[in-house]
Amino acid sequence: MIPDKEELALTIDMAEWGWLRAHLERDGLILIAADMDLAEAGWRIATDDADTVGGWIASGKIGKPSAAQIAAWDGDKGRQFQMLIVSPYILIQDKALHIQ
């Protein structure tokens, strides 16, 4: 049974990059744009909504992290991300705001 969006929202957690890195190695990490609803994205992926997810991929709203992003995060293994498990994937959002 696929959980609904509200159930997925309750499972969103925070994780450090050092923990997430292993999921990148197995090609299981998906980056979700910071302006998107993480639970909505997870639900669309879990329900195989190919049209919506395909549109997000085409527009760059979701996808694999870039080499530059990975390099930056490797330099800050304690960096925090919002994360949601939608097996077999780990969806992450980089919501870090650089407030001065």
Q: Is residue 100 part of a domain?
A: no
pTM: 0.89
Domain span at residue 70 reads 5-93
Q: Is residue 99 part of a domain?
A: no
Please say whether the beta carbons of 95 and 55 come within 8 A: no
Q: Is residue 98 part of a domain?
A: no
The count of structural domains within the chain is 1
Please say whether the beta carbons of 56 and 41 come within 8 A: yes
pLDDT at 63: 96
Q: Is residue 14 part of a domain?
A: yes
Two tokens at 71? 């390099």
How many CA atoms within 13 Å lie on the side-chain side of 13?
9
When the pLDDT of each residue in the chain is averaged and rounded to a whole number, the result is 91
Render pLDDT for 49-89 as a digit per residue (tens, 0 to 9): 999 999 999 999 999 999 999 999 999 888 999 999 999 99
> What is the rounded CA–CA span in Å between residue 69 and residue 31?
10
pLDDT above 70: residue 96? no
pLDDT at 57: 97
What is the CA angle 36-8-46, rounded to 5?
80
pLDDT above 50: residue 97? no
